[in-house]
Structure formats: structure tokens, C-alpha cells
Amino acid sequence: MARLILLNKPHGVLSQFTDSGTGNSPRPTLSDFIGLAGVYPAGRLDRDSEGLLLLTDDGKLQDRIASPRHRSEKTYLVQVEGVPDDGALAALRQGVVLKDGPTRPARVRLIDPPDLWPRDPPVRYRKSVPDRWLEITITEGRNRQVRRMTAHVGHPTLRLVRWRVGDWTLDGLAPGAWRAATP
């Protein structure tokens, strides 16, 4: 039977097991949190983002989770700069045109600030610029897609936490913690 691991990837961690960067100091990778052999990420979560990352040892399951053709839903809790108006929210819901083409429509709603762990390093705070939280659900997974979508409508992302992929959620997982799940 396939193994499936749910990891709460902390901010600043690469979504791979080794750091192939050329910098002087190594960056944290998945190997700093998971000591299991033979599991690999099903999709990616950029270094600046945090939250749910699924890992598996089954190629078919990995494809079903990560491939855009399966339209697996991914839900993100997103702190943005400014307060999006109805026009910005409507644009996200309809899909926006990015440099690599139009996005599929997204489900978007304003939410109260979620009860999350503190981020390290903290999100910059500016007294003169308000921020707002959104819940965004997409069925694609382009490189930095949610960040590019919110920036496109004039509200850059300050913090991005992937909360759900398909039926699997981050509920109950502390940053850096993982648990086995049923595929």
C-alpha cells in the first residue's frame, strides 16, 4: 500500500530533500524534518510559503495529487496587503490573466485572521497599510500562482499558508510536524 505523509512545511524550508543552491550556508530542506526513505513531494510549496505539503512513495498517487489535469483543489489562507474591494475579489473568482496565461476561476472569500502559529521571521507590519486575510481555493498549481494572482489585483501576498489539498488538511499539525495519512 502507498505511503502518504502530511507535513506542515515551515516558512523558509525548501520543498526538496537536498539543497543544490550555491550559497555559503545550507538552507533548511525536508530532510531536516522527515527521516523517511523513499517518499517524495507531491507538488511543491515555495520557500516563502508554509503549510501542507504531501509526500508519497507512489508515483500514481503523486501524479493524481500534483498534476493539473486532475484538478485537485488546494486551499490557501492568504494575508494580503490592503483590503481587496469587490472588483478585486471578482477578478480572482473569474480568473486573471498572468504572463503564462489565464488562471482558472478561483473560490475566494474574505476571512477573519486565522488562529495560526507565529511565523519566523514575522510578517512585516506597517501601521499605515492595512492587511486582510483571504481564503483562496484553486485547481491549478503554477509557480507562485496565488502570489501572482493577488499581486495582479493590487494586493501583494504577505503570508501564504496552504491549508488543504484535496481531502487532506493541515488541521492539528504544528510547523515542522508530520503524520501518516490514508491515501
Q: Would you name the residues annotated as active-site residues?
A: 46
Among 85, 116, 93, 103, which Cα is nearest to 148's? Answer: 103
Q: Which letter, b or e, does each residue of 153-177 get, where b requires 16 or more Cβ atoms within 10 Å of its Cβ?
A: bebebbbbbbbbbeebbbeebebbe
Among 43, 103, 38, 31, which Cα is nearest to 67's? Answer: 43
Structure letter (DSSP) for residue 34: -
Cis bond upstream, residue 102 (ω within 30)? no
Secondary structure of residue 106 in the 3-state scheme: coil
DSSP 67-98: -GGGT--EEEEEEEES---HHHHHHHHH--EE
Among 87, 85, 77, which Cα is nearest to 138's? Answer: 77
